[in-house]
Structure 1
Amino acid sequence: MVADNVVLQVEGLCFAYPECGVLDQWQMALPAGLALVRGDESSGKTTLLRLLAGELRPQAGQITLQGLSASDAPKAYAQHVFWADPRSGELDKLTARDWLGSLPARYPQWDAAVLATHTEGFTLHEHLDKPFYALSTGSKRKVLMAGALASGAPLTLIDEPVGGLDKPSVAYLARALTQVAGQPGRVVVVAHYEALPGVPWGTVVDLAG
């Protein structure tokens, strides 16, 4: 049973690659707000996000988002999740503007004003008409995070957010995350090896690796 204040419930999650195990009977319950998944390299942070996104299927266990089961209703579940892997080359041929322009049709709670704020805050204007393959690591991550934060998705997943970011962009990211911390019915899960200073994390989950 999922408690009334829990947005995302994970129970008995098991996942292993052929060469190694990752999660064994793993569980967590997240209320609305900011959640940090913290762990060292190869501790399973990205794998967990991919499982939460429905990109990987667990060998056992249940993931439930606002009453929707990832295994029983995968299409409906996926419509409530934002996930864009910063390491993927899937978007390489698209321009940042075209990709961002495709998102309102996928996310009913999309907020164009929020996107405009983050485009300015992350200084993305000069990069919008570049294809993803031409973006630096930092610029690509900033485009993906601007889309993530503007999506309004009940489950928003962000992986290793500060890779390639300069200090002003890291400071802006902390402010941007703080702004979404109080949104009702929405949990933003950030995977990183340490807590970002100044961010009001509601939950911190440590992966031992």
Structure 2
Amino acid sequence: MGPMLCLSNVALQVGERWIVQRCTLTVPAGLSLVLGGDGAGKTSLLRLLAGELSPDAGQLSLAGAAWGSAGWGQQVFWRDPRAPWPAALTPRAWTAALAGQQPRWREDEWRRHVDGFALAPHLDKDMHQLSTGSQRKVLLAAALASGAALTLIDEPVAALDRGAVRYLCAALQRLADASPWTERIVLVAHYDPLDDSLPWRHMLTLAG
């Protein structure tokens, strides 16, 4: 059956605003989408699932592991695309470290996505030298290659060129079509469904 993400009566408040209240749902393995406009709380919800924010109420589990446990953290891939990068860090060095942290890391998939996003000329540059779009491509390639049971991707097409957007949608479709797909949940947060052909198994809309 693959991993399942389960929320039971979960509430999350950020500042004076409730992102979710009494939210109960089960997200199955596959491709899922969190919809919402700017300020709706999509990033906050992903940060909750990544363990960076604590729920104000309720319980969460991922493939049987409770939220906040080591078993939860070991199954999640997340990096806030807006967070600053450490100095003197190259894509090659960052992903080499990731390969040791992510139990399901796929080096062959990383190389595939490096080619797909045309990242080869940038692998040994400092992340600070890269454009916002190239930084986003590095993050997306790593997320797709991570193999993590819960892979969290926030606003994936921000700063991407059209070719990169097409490649991303094709990569998501290929994941959805692959036989090992049941081993993973890929949760994308965006303001629209990206591509009408993508087989979203679950959609959650945040009203904002």
TM-score range normalised by the length of the shorter chain: over 0.9
Contact 2:3 2:184 survives alignment (8 Å)? no
Q: How far has the Cα of 1:122 moved from its partner?
A: 0.4
**C-alpha contact (below 8 Å) 1:6/1:29 kept by paired residues:** no
Structure 1 residue ranges, 4+ long, deviating more than 3 angstroms after superposition: 90-93
Cα RMSD after superposing both structures: 1.4
| Cα gap change, 1:25 to 1:172, in 2 (>3 Å) | same
Question: In the TM superposition, what whole-angstrom CA distance separates every residue of 1:68-104 from its partner, at most 9, and x where no partner exists?
Answer: 0114x2x221010000110001445411110011111
Where do residues 6-21 of structure 1 align in structure 2 (5 Å cutoff)? 7-21=4-18
One-letter amino acid matched to 1:201: W
Task: Give distance in 1, aligned partners of 2:188 and 2:44.
Answer: 13
Q: Secondary structure at the match of 2:182?
A: coil
The answer to whether the 8 A contact 2:127-2:135 is kept is yes
TM-superposition CA deviations, 1:89-126 (whole Å, max 9, x none): 14454111100111111111111110010000000011
Task: Name 1:41's counterpart in structure 2.
Answer: 38
Among 151, 155, 162, the residue aligned to 1:160: 155
Residue type of the alignment partner of 2:59:
Q
C-alpha separation between the residues in 1 aligned to 2:124 and 2:47? 28
Q: Which runs of 5+ in 2 are unaligned?
A: none
1:33-68 deviations in Å (ceiling 9; x for gaps): 100100011111000000000011111111110000
> What amino acid is aligned across from residue 99 of structure 1 in structure 2?
W
Counterpart amino acid of 2:167?
Y
Using structure 2 for the length normalisation, give the TM-score: 0.93
Unaligned runs of 5+ in 1: none
| Amino acid of the structure 1 residue aligned with 2:42 | K
What is the TM-score normalised by the length of structure 1?
A: 0.93
**Aligned runs of 1:72-91 on 2, under 5 Å?**
73=69, 75-91=70-86
Q: Specify the alignment match of 1:116 in structure 2.
A: 111
Match of 1:151 among 146, 150, 158: 146
Letter in 1 for 2:24: Q
Q: Match for residue 70 of structure 1?
A: 67
Between Structure 1 and Structure 2, how many residues are aligned? 204
2:91 corresponds, among 81, 90, 96, to 96
